[in-house]
DNA sequence: AATGAATGAGAATTCATTCAT
DNA sequence: AATGAATGAATTCTCATTCAT
């Protein structure tokens, strides 16, 4: 253990910090490569190259390609989901405004982070890694759906929304965001005609949702 | 031999017939394997095995794995799209009823045929085969979008729909069907909790759409 | 046997003639392909295509690729060698003049027929087909060398040539022709700078030979 | 390990050393296999086996079979040619003596090294690898011919040789050596009757050449 | 005699994983 | 902790050969 020669309170020397950051650097590089190529076509050589380490080093942190893949998925998702849960727990205002903030936040993330590739990766590999699909379903989809279902039920209870079928509506709310993520990660590069106007799409979606959720005889 | 419904008095031209059927048999087997594994993880050995031919035979009909993949995508898609276009061209009734029939038909196809796997495959491999993505975009997405856009514009012109932003609305209409196809091909097998109620989802979607598209001051 | 309906003395119908010519047509096509690609890289598909028959037909006349190869070598060589032997047997004139006619004839053949490729083929495949090499050595090289050795010995006995070491001289006489054949079949196509002037080369060779074989104190 | 002549005090950098030697070991093994089988029939499995490495290791050093083949040709040729050029540049003695030393040296190399197989390989594969043929022509044949042409012109200018046609004579000088190389690499193994007496052949060739190049009215 | 669809053994190449240093 | 040389199993693709028609 020759790497702890320094007393406390001293700024950690750069290379020590790197050492601790290694796993994250590798995960970040892997995310890029998996995003571009998919799981099977991604080469660990390339991951190592982009992470600035040797191929062997990958195996110091991840037992194999599959676990690295799972780590990528987990790393991309959990912080976002936790933030969304915090947001909903902390907000007790009008339900539609909350829905609005939620969708807008997700759209922003899809546009500005690499999280958009996660659905694509999970969709593509669900058949080859059923446990990964189950994990994703349990940790991401179910939690996300539950969160939205809670929001809807609250709005219905308060009379803000008409009494829609919650389970279906949750999926209808999510679908356009999934569409956006998939578009960004699969078609944007291969297709002319400029990027998808995801902000406009979400605005239109919210416009539709407002009308669709409006209590029957209620005010516009 | 077991696929011959007219047994009598025929000189049993087994081979001739097979030769003509071979490409389709291979494409069907390939569709299954690609659907289960994705492009890269699909083994031609397995395709050959399921098609009941030897590995070499694949190469009599398709020059390589990639072309076989493209043939699978094309074979799955074109007939469906053509039918949808025929349906719309032939119908001049109320626009929402037409939309209803269209979405219902697509949902039925997603539920009862293997077409649901096509989006998953294209999404997964768009990065590795940009021309495939471009082909799919051109031949499927653009045509499908154009078809829906025409329907919307007609409805707006006739006063059946409020003047929505057509391009966004097209995507909002499609998104839940994409969600359904992806769910079926990626999560249904890996997840407990029963299959997605796609018919119910589409019904709810149509319910929402009716409200969202309803002209402003129109009848409830 | 529906192919003998015609009485005698009638010109054979074309397609019957073709049938008898098949083996030679195949050998001719095979010679072209082997010459271009070598044995291993030659594809029977291509041979069949150039011969205007199907792949299966090749196997009606030749049991396998190797035998077809041998047939090509044999067909190219034997007639030429027999002619040379006839030429020498029939001629009893001055030995150098005979040598002159012999080398000139061979050079003409190398320039105007496809026989030039035979040495290249045998050289290339001797390692893979030792019996072919042995056959070629026995039937072509040995016979050719014996023929030249006889000529030299006759010239020496008659005092036309100085008493050279016959075995070496035979090889020295042949080497430039081998050079010419190899050049034509291997380098001419791949190299700029125009074809080899084989006639000039043989003339120079004969000039050198006249001087080299001239009896010691003899006339210039 | 057994190839280390300085055993003491060395930190036994087995691997480092091997790494540097690997390409040459592989090229040497490949030369043997290509020599025996020709390019197409050579199996990389066998090359790897003879080099004492695994198949995959070949690809660490050479991108494919073709490049390995070219490396073999290059490795065999360049040192020899450079030496011949040095020899000529350094010698200003009688031209025929120099020619004698040159041919003798080449014959020695043909007899004692594996360089004899190079012409056979190039001849065999010129049709399949025209660039290789062009490379060989440019780097070996042209340089070799230029070297001999220079020698001849010098001898003619000095009155040591009669004014022969230089371009043809160069080829006549080379042809028996080519004959020897081809014999050794293609027929010696397949044919009874003992090896070719190449030294005797070259002696006879030089004897002929002396007479053929002797100035017209010169001394015997 | 002729065809050409079908076969399957065989070869080149790739790449995740290991391990001596 | 890090390296990167080495491995070899796995996979695509080729092509001589067979054989039902």
Residue A167 near residue B198 (C-beta atoms within 8 A): no
Question: Which residue among A137, A190, A208 places its CB closest to the CB of B133?
Answer: A190
Q: Does C146 touch chain D (CB under 8 A)?
A: no
| CB neighbour list of residue C212: distance below 8 Å, 6 or more residues apart | C164, D207, D208, D209, D211, D212
Residue D67: per-residue pLDDT: 95
- With a cut of 60, say whether residue D87 has pLDDT above it: yes
- The per-residue pLDDT for C46 is 97
When pLDDT is averaged across residues C88-117 and rounded to a whole number, the result is 93
Q: Which of C34, C131, C146, C172 to mutate to test the interface with D (most CBs of D within 10 A)?
A: C172
CA distance to partner chain D, nearest, from residue C119 (Å): 10
Q: Is B196 left (phi over 0), alpha (psi -120 to 50) or beta?
A: beta
CA-CA distance, A95 to A164, in Å (whole number)? 14
Note the pLDDT of residue A79. 85
CB half-sphere exposure, B78, CA atoms < 13 A: 7
CA distance, residue A203 to nearest chain B CA (Å) = 9
- Enter the pTM of the model: 0.86
Q: Is the pLDDT of residue C75 over 80?
A: yes
The domain defined by A7-65 folds into Arc Repressor Mutant, subunit A (1.10.10)
Round and report the angstrom distance from CA (A41) to C1' (E14): 11
Q: Any chain D CB within 8 A of the CB of C34?
A: no
Task: Give the CB-side neighbour count of residue D10, counting CA atoms within 13 A.
Answer: 11
In chain C, where the domains are located = 7-65, 77-213
What pLDDT shows up at residue A82? 85
pLDDT at D217 over 80: no
Residues of D within 8 A of C205 (CB-CB) are 168, 172
Cα–Cα–Cα angle for A214, A215, A217, rounded to 5 degrees: 115
**Per-residue tokens: B162:** 């409020």
Chain D residues touching C171 at Cβ < 8 A? 176, 179, 201
What would the pLDDT profile of C145-168 be if each residue is shown by its tens digit?
A: 999 999 999 999 999 999 999 999
Take residue D18 and report the two structure tokens written for it: 């091997």
**Between residues D1 and B52, the one the model is more confident about:** B52
Q: What's the average model confidence in pLDDT over C195-219?
A: 92
Q: Please check the confidence at residue D15 and state whether its pLDDT lies above 50.
A: no
Nearest to B138 by CA among B155, B160, B122: B122
Interface check A87 vs B, CB under 8 A: no
Would the pLDDT of C123 be above 80? yes
Which residues, numbered 159 to 218 in chain B, qualify as contacts with chain A under a Cβ-Cβ cut-off of 8 Å? 164-165, 168-169, 171-172, 174-176, 178-179, 182, 185-187, 189-191, 197, 200-201, 203-205, 207-209, 211-212, 214
For residue A196, pLDDT beyond 90: yes
Interface of B with A in 111-130 (CB under 8 A): 120, 122-128, 130
* Stretch D140-159: mean pLDDT: 95
Confidence grade of residue A85 (pLDDT, cut at 50, 70, 90): confident
User: Which residue shows structure tokens 């050579």?
Assistant: D42
pLDDT at A220 over 80: no
CB atoms within 10 A of CB B19: 12
Chains that touch B (3 or more CB pairs under 8 A): A
The fold of the B77-213 domain, in CATH, is Tetracycline Repressor; domain 2 (1.10.357)
Give dist(CA D187, CA C142) in Å, integer.
Answer: 12
Per-residue pLDDT at D17 exceeds 80: no
* Interchain proximity C171–D169, CB inside 8 Å: no
Backbone angles phi, psi at C4, to 5 degrees: -135, 45
Residue A91's pLDDT band (cuts 50, 70, 90): confident
Give pLDDT tens digits for A14-27.
444 456 788 999 99
Per residue in A67-79, pLDDT (tens digit) is: 999 999 999 988 8
Q: Find the mean pLDDT for residues D47-52.
A: 96
Q: Which two tokens stand for residue C143?
A: 């016979």
Q: How far is CA B106 from the centre of its chain?
A: 8
Task: Flag whether A touches D (3+ CB pairs, 8 A cutoff).
Answer: no
Where b means 16+ CB within 10 Å and e means fewer, B85-114 reads eeebeeeeeebbebbbebbeebbebbbeeb
DSSP characters for C42-92? --HHHHHHHHTS-HHHHHHH-SSHHHHHHHHHHHHHHHHHHHHHHHHHH--
Q: What pLDDT shows up at residue D7? A: 38
- Mean pLDDT score, D201-217: 95
Which has more confidence, B126 or D84? B126
Q: Is the pLDDT of residue A11 over 80?
A: no
In chain D, which residues have their Cβ closer than 8 Å to the Cβ of C38? Answer: 38, 40, 124-125, 127-128
Contact C168 D201 (CB under 8 A): yes
Token pair 């494409």: residue: B27
Consecutive 10-residue averages of pLDDT for chain B (220 residues): 37 48 93 94 96 96 95 90 85 93 95 93 92 89 93 97 98 98 92 91 98 79
Percentage above 70 pLDDT, chain A:
89
Q: Provide the shortest C-alpha distance from residue D3 to chain C (in Å).
A: 32
What is the percentage of chain C residues whose pLDDT exceeds 70? 89
* Contact between C172 and D204 using a beta-carbon 8 Å cutoff: yes
Q: Do A212 and B212 touch (CB under 8 A)?
A: yes
Residue B18 is predicted with a pLDDT of 59
The answer for residues whose C-beta is within 8 angstroms of residue B153's C-beta and 6 or more apart is B166
Q: What secondary structure letter does DSSP report for D197?
A: -
């Amino acid at each position: 253990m020759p790497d702890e020669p320094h007393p406390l309170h001293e700024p950690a020397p750069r290379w020590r910090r790197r050492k601790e950051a290694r796993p994250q650097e590798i995960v970040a590089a892997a995310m890029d490569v998996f995003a571009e190529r998919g799981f099977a076509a991604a080469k660990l050589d390339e991951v190592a190259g982009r992470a600035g380490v040797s191929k062997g080093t990958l195996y110091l942190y991840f037992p194999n390609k599959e676990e690295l893949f799972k780590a990528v998925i987990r790393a991309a998702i959990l912080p976002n989901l936790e933030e969304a849960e915090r947001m909903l727990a902390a907000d007790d205002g009008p339900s539609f405004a909350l829905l609005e903030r939620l969708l807008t936040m997700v759209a922003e993330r899809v546009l500005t982070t690499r999280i958009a590739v996660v659905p694509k990766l999970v969709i593509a590999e669900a058949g080859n890694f059923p446990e990964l699909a189950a994990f994703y379903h349990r940790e991401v989809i179910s939690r996300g759906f539950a969160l939205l279902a809670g929001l809807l039920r609250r709005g219905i209870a308060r009379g803000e929304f008409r009494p829609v079928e919650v389970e279906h509506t949750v999926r209808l709310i999510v679908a356009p965001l999934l569409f956006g993520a998939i578009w960004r990660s699969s078609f944007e590069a291969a297709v002319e005609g400029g990027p998808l106007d995801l902000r406009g799409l979400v605005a239109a979606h919210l416009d539709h949702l407002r009308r669709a959720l409006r209590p029957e005889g209620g005010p516009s």
